[in-house]
Amino acid sequence: MGLRGESSGSFSTGQTAQEKGLNYVPNAYVIPTPQRPSLSPETAIVPIIDMASLRSNDSAERSLAIEALRKACISLGFFQVKFQFFTLILETGEIYISYLLTSICFLQIINHGISKTVMEEALSQAREFFNLPLKEKMKYKSDDVSKAVRYGTSLKDGVDKIKFWRVFLKHYAHPLEDWVDSWPTNPHTYREKMGQYTKEVRKVSLEIEEAITESLGLRPYLSSKMAEGVQVVAVNCYPPCPQPGVALGLPPHTDYSCITTILQSSQGLEIMDRADGKWKMVPNVDGSLQVHVGDHVEVLSNGLYKGVVHRAIVNSERTRISISSLHSLGMDEKMKPAEELVDEQNPIKYKESSFNDFLKFLSSNDLAEGKSFIDTLKIQN
């Protein structure tokens, strides 16, 4: 089964290889050899955070959980391979946080309070939407990155030099009553069941954001602004790919958000370990959510916490669904380094920016070429 060389222009949304279910990978999707994924990647050892401890009325237990969160988020420095084991045993003898600490700002959270039924129904609604006839899905097709509801395939249709093996539906989700009437009506329970999940995951995400700011010593810094901020839900579908070793679902990138909370049907998310520069697979722990730090928390922390570089790989056996909930400040609200984290020894390292600034960047840059929004914010000291 070889590669074939159709021109990139023949793969606009509605006509892509992944939508058609082609049994070969066209050249337009083939990524350079050094960037190709391993078919047997290492597994990342990801910190597991128990939300029950963050919600505890016991100040000592909560303080330990906040400190564990800080250790999970903090960077140990580029090129520095440093590992530290941290295990906390409750009085019951049960391990509630156990992880190998690296420079990965990525967490698995358990006991988050979202029922398994709500999560499974959200994934089911996503599958049903992507199984609809193409004509139905194309009602939401748009190349406008700022559009409130958008169906697509490429990062920027007709512009991307490399195509990616993904189909997506993005929509705004907060305040839910302002946006839900623009969501798909087919499947007929999509608005109800996806809406329920987005409300509940937002509540959990706000708790995580508050804990992260507290771990920086900034509580109650930005709490009200985050509560009124933007929530964008990216519903992603990665169909089976006949040659998963030569294509990607999404290229390496960091998220513009403060944090991103991810629900996935199966593993396929890889993160780069800054300690050794290797790509590692995030395990899919049943019932858990994945949380990673985005660009705006990196800015807020003045570089103490780093946004996670991640990508989506594909497989030849099954369709993978992921639902990413991205949480930011308001559209025009500027994020800047916290004054408390800036001094003579730690000068300001980032320019301020907003969600709208990111959208402008996305509309004029090709992420597949390695261009990064966070890099445009860094101040060279």
Nearest to 322 by CA among 249, 237, 240: 237
Distance, in Å, from the CA atom of 131 to the CA atom of 284, rounded to the nearest integer, reads 23
Predicted pLDDT of residue 183: 98
Query: In this model, does residue 93 exceed pLDDT 70?
Result: no
In a domain, 78, yes or no: yes
CB atoms < 10 A from the CB of 372, how many? 17
291-345, pLDDT tens digit by residue?
Answer: 888 999 999 999 999 888 999 999 999 999 999 999 999 999 999 999 999 999 9
User: Does residue 133 register a pLDDT over 50?
Assistant: yes
Q: Residue 3's pLDDT is what?
A: 52
What are the structure tokens assigned to 195, written together? 């809406």
Distance, in Å, from the CA atom of 363 to the CA atom of 361, rounded to the nearest integer, reads 6
Q: Which amino acid is at 155?
A: L
Does 2 reside within a domain?
no
Task: Average the pLDDT over 26-38 and give the result.
Answer: 94
- pLDDT value, residue 85: 27
Residues 180-239 pLDDT 10s? 999 999 999 999 999 999 999 999 999 989 989 999 998 777 777 888 899 999 999 999
Number of compact structural domains in the chain: 1
Rounded CA separation 366/314 (Å): 21
CB 342 within 8 A of CB 348: yes
* 248 part of a folded domain: yes
User: Which of 304, 300, 374 has the alpha carbon at shortest distance from 337?
Assistant: 300
**d(C-alpha 58, C-alpha 69), whole Å:** 17
Share above pLDDT 90 across residues of the chain, in percent, rounded to a whole number: 59
User: Is 335 or 105 the better-scoring residue by pLDDT?
Assistant: 335
In a domain, 156, yes or no: yes
Closest residue by Cα to residue 292 from 46, 100, 38, 42? 46
Domain housing 296: 8-377
**CATH number of the domain within which 188 lies:** 2.60.120.330
pLDDT tier, 94 (very low <50, low <70, confident <90, very high otherwise): very low
